[in-house]
Amino acid sequence: MQSGHCRIVIDGIEAGEVEYKYDARGHGLLWGEPSTLEEAWHSEEVSLVINQQQQNIIVNSVTGSHPAQFAFKTFPLS
């Protein structure tokens, strides 16, 4: 399990910082401002900047106070 904090980019615009955790299959959870996670869920292009590398993700679900579920579009990470 990998975890940490990183920047989130939504439709090409930096939208803040989130906490992430993902497993060996590239599926994970995001914690952050609810409005940011909601915006990410409705957007076409979302990425996390992890170790100075922008990684594209798909946000699968956002439900209130629970962490958002996501998956990397390409895994393993480069």
According to the 3-state scheme, what is the secondary structure of 6-74? EEEEECCEEEEEEEEEECCCCEEEEECCHHHHHHHHCCCCEEEEECCEEEEEEEEECCCCCCEEEEECC
User: Residue 50 belongs to what domain range?
Assistant: 2-72
Q: What is the pLDDT of residues 24-78, one digit of tens each?
A: 999 999 999 999 999 999 999 999 999 999 999 999 999 878 999 999 999 988 7
Higher-scoring residue by pLDDT: 78, 23? 23
Q: How high is the pLDDT of residue 46? A: 98
Residue 12 domain-assigned (yes or no): yes
- Mean predicted confidence (pLDDT) in 8-34: 97
Residue 77 domain-assigned (yes or no): no
Residue 78 domain-assigned (yes or no): no
Residue 64 domain-assigned (yes or no): yes
Please determine, for residue 11, whether its predicted confidence score (pLDDT) is greater than 80.
Answer: yes
Number of domains in the chain: 1
* Domain of residue 45, CATH code: 2.40.10
Q: How high is the pLDDT of residue 65? A: 81
The SS3 of residue 67 is coil
Q: How high is the pLDDT of residue 6? A: 98
